[in-house]
Amino acid sequence: MEKQKRTLTAEDLYHLKSLADPQLAKNGSDLLYVETTMSKEKNDYVSNLYYINVAEKTNPVQWTYGENKNHSPRWSPDGSQIAFVSNRTGKNQIYILQKDGGEARQVTNSTNGASNPVWSPDGSKIAFSTSLKSDEALLLEEKKEEEKGNLVPLVVDKMKYKSDASGFWNGRFTQIAVVDVNTKEMELLTSGERDYSLQSWSPDGNYIALTADFSEELDHSFLSDVYLLEVSTKNLQKVTNSTGYFGSVTWSPNSKFLGMIGHEREFENATLSKAWVYNVDNKSLNCLTSETDLLVGDLAIGDFQQGAVTPGLLWGEDNESFYFLATDHGNTVVYYGSVNGELYPALLDQQHVYGLTTGGNINQAVVAISKAQSPGELFYLDVPTGELTQLTNANASFLDEVQLASVEEIEFKSKDDWDLHGWLMKPANFKEGEKYPLILEIHGGPHAMYANTYFHEFQTLAAEGYAVLYINPRGSHGYGQKFVDAVRGDYGGRDYADVMEAVDYVLDQFDFIDENRLGVTGGSYGGFMTNWIVGHTNSFKAAVTQRSISNWISFYGVSDIGYYFNEWQIKSNSLDDIQTLWKHSPLAYVDSVETPLLILHSEKDYRCPIEQAEQLYIALKHKKKTTKFVRFPESNHELSRSGKPNLRMERLHHIKNWFNEYIK
């Protein structure tokens, strides 16, 4: 008799394991990856390194222990050692672990921590990233007693002074340093009042690839150029031409080619990223995917994986071939390419590939894959045959116990004849002949993509008895350049029509949906769209807006991206065009709101600052509308994906309870 499974709860996040950042050694057998779980006791995330012998298909073996965050494993060139990052001493530093065993050895003692370890080709040194003020030493020094705990004012003289990811600027710039793995001597390779992003070390040992923006006026510059830093002299050689944004730089084994991912900002932040190759000998830079509508990289959206890393172009031993991830029609897939212009999929399926490693072998890869009913596992890919062999079963016990909801793909034509694509998730305990309420979910970005991937929020709602509809309206990635660019200047226009027509489509096609019990929710741009919807239709019985935008006029001056995002996305000259900004602001339509609206927002959200929620809440309350405001302390824009575990649980419960109160 088949075991009766229970339905999922929000707290099941504590039982799930995120497997990410797989790293295959050059021998093609030794594999390391990071397993992350949430600790209820610590109210934090715990990450450790695990090992598998791919050739022998051994069971995973845990290599680091403890309640800390151990991550970013990187094999030494000879495969005998692993560099990784750990916060076991209170701040991130780089450690080395011998493959044949023993305790991890700390090799950096950097003042403000160290990250992103990159081995030198001879294995004697590790380059890393760190942040420093102009008067700070690289080596950690004990603070003077009078310096400890003193409050100081924040003096601001630039526009880019805050970031949702890192908070207020602390006067530090990201620099590149190197440490001798034997002597632990550290040396700065870059300096000055500029940020440098470490990329990769050339196999011949001569150069370190990095990215930086050398524009004189950085507040209005959005460039990322590739440079080669000559290790012996520290001289910089410019590779790209200050035409756009480039990164994820990798070397061919013979140091003759640089692979990179980037674009020339033809459509600002809606531009598709492409694959590029730079020939070191003749100094030529060519875009290899210019004739396609393929988006290079992983732009799928989810709320589960922790520490996923999108690699750049992963070169083969022939110095001409490489693999990379691409985002395409609701999936992320593995593509093969070559410097000669060859381009074709190597792994094309209904999936989200959120990790890829080859060890430099063109015939094999290890991929991290998630699907709607699979939180994520690692697989060995035999490239010539396309055969996948599962290497891990970290979430098997969870899947044996919990009944996840099934998902059906939908495709339909919009009223203006555009192809639209999405999914309908059935309630977890779906029964034929019964009627169910529906929740419409809208993603952020707007240039992101819902995908064939695990989404805990959706599964939580499905377990509560809701069907969940999620589509990629125009503005989403994965469907070509014209599609992703179509939302700019049209917020609340055809994008709004797309999501509403999706609701009409499923109501027409699926008779189990109760048209009188509809809800809507979304975050960031999805929060904007939720606000817009309740101000333009009464079709929904309840709505939950998350980390939203309500007023583009104030957003201009308070968001970490506002002063340029308005111009790029609303296509308004900001404060010179108040009328356009107000026309696209949901706050302008509060008189029309009849839908009960729950407002969720994080106190330290600098992307969509909490004043956006405050304005909306007060305006609705002042007009005696049905609303409630929940503020999450010490949290930023990423609350739903990487916030404090207890607050993530609270958020999911608030969403569920609001819909239960007003829809069920």
Q: For residue 50, what are the β-bridge partners?
A: 33, 62
457: pLDDT strictly greater than 60: yes
Residue 599 falls within a domain, yes or no? Answer: yes
CATH number at 471 reads: 3.40.50.1820
* 346: phi then psi, degrees, rounded to nearest 5: -105, -25
pLDDT of residue 144: 57
Rounded CA separation 426/438 (Å): 9
Residue 248 falls within a domain, yes or no? Answer: no
pLDDT of residue 141: 75
Residue 453, token pair as written in the block = 């991937």
Would you call 637 a catalytic residue per the annotation? Answer: yes
| Model confidence band, residue 3 (pLDDT cutoffs 50, 70, 90) | confident
Helix (H) or strand (E) holding 525: helix 525-534
What pLDDT digit, counting tens, does each position of 398-407 carry? 999 999 999 9
Which residue from 541, 526, 586 is spatially nearest to 439, judged by alpha carbons? 541
* Residue 645: cis peptide before it, omega within 30 degrees of 0: no
* Rg of the chain taking only CA atoms, in angstroms: 25
What pLDDT digit, counting tens, does each position of 101-118 carry? 889 999 999 999 999 999
What pLDDT digit, counting tens, does each position of 476-512 carry? 999 999 999 999 999 999 999 999 999 999 999 999 9
Question: 565, 581 in Cβ contact below 8 A?
Answer: no
pLDDT of residue 135: 87
More confident residue, 11 or 134: 11
Rounded CA separation 187/176 (Å): 9
Residue 419 falls within a domain, yes or no? Answer: yes
pLDDT of residue 658: 98
Count of C-beta atoms within a 10 Å radius of residue 311: 20
Rounded CA separation 248/313 (Å): 8
- What average pLDDT does this structure show over 184-188? 97
pLDDT of residue 222: 96
Residue 188 falls within a domain, yes or no? Answer: no
pLDDT of residue 499: 98
Would you call 242 a catalytic residue per the annotation? Answer: no
Residue 66 falls within a domain, yes or no? Answer: no
Q: What residue has token string 């399926």?
A: 349
Question: 211, 199 in Cβ contact below 8 A?
Answer: yes
Residue 134 falls within a domain, yes or no? Answer: no
Reduced to 3 states (helix: H, G, I; strand: E, B; else coil), residue 412 is strand
pLDDT of residue 574: 78
Q: Please state, in angstroms and as integers, the Cα–Cα distance from residue 60 to each residue in 21, 390, 393, following that order.
A: 15, 12, 9
452: pLDDT strictly greater than 60: yes
Contacts 24+ apart (CB under 8 A), 287-291: 288/337, 288/339, 288/341, 288/343, 289/337, 289/343
CB burial of residue 172 (10 Å; 0-12, 13-18, 19+): middle
Tally of domains within the chain: 1
pLDDT of residue 1: 53
Which residue from 484, 558, 494, 496 is spatially nearest to 522, judged by alpha carbons? 496
Which residue from 554, 556, 534, 561 is spatially nearest to 612, judged by alpha carbons? 554
85: pLDDT strictly greater than 90: yes
- What average pLDDT does this structure show over 533-548? 98
What pLDDT digit, counting tens, does each position of 517-533 carry? 999 999 999 999 999 99
Average pLDDT over all residues of the chain? 96
Residue 398 falls within a domain, yes or no? Answer: no
Which residue from 12, 19, 10, 38 is spatially nearest to 644, judged by alpha carbons? 38
pLDDT of residue 149: 72
pLDDT of residue 146: 54
Question: 226, 260 in Cβ contact below 8 A?
Answer: yes
Q: Which residues contact 118 (CB under 8 A, 6 or more apart)?
A: 74, 126, 127, 128, 198, 199, 200, 201, 208
Residue type for position 495: D
| Model confidence band, residue 2 (pLDDT cutoffs 50, 70, 90) | low
Instruction: Tell me the residue range of the domain where 507 lies.
Output: 403-662
382: pLDDT strictly greater than 80: yes
DSSP-derived secondary structure for 436-465: EEEEEEE-SSSS-B--SS--HHHHHHHHTT
Q: What residue has token string 């990635």?
A: 477
Count of C-beta atoms within a 10 Å radius of residue 142: 7
142: pLDDT strictly greater than 70: no
Rounded CA separation 491/569 (Å): 8
Determine what percent of the chain is predicted with pLDDT higher than 70: 99
Question: 175, 191 in Cβ contact below 8 A?
Answer: yes
Which residue from 494, 525, 484, 520 is spatially nearest to 608, judged by alpha carbons? 525
72: pLDDT strictly greater than 60: yes
Residue 604 falls within a domain, yes or no? Answer: yes
| Model confidence band, residue 575 (pLDDT cutoffs 50, 70, 90) | confident
Question: 642, 502 in Cβ contact below 8 A?
Answer: no
Q: Which of 71, 352, 443, 637 is catalytic?
A: 637
145: pLDDT strictly greater than 80: no
- What average pLDDT does this structure show over 36-64? 96
386: pLDDT strictly greater than 80: yes
- What average pLDDT does this structure show over 469-474? 98
Q: Which of 252, 370, 524, 554 is catalytic?
A: 524
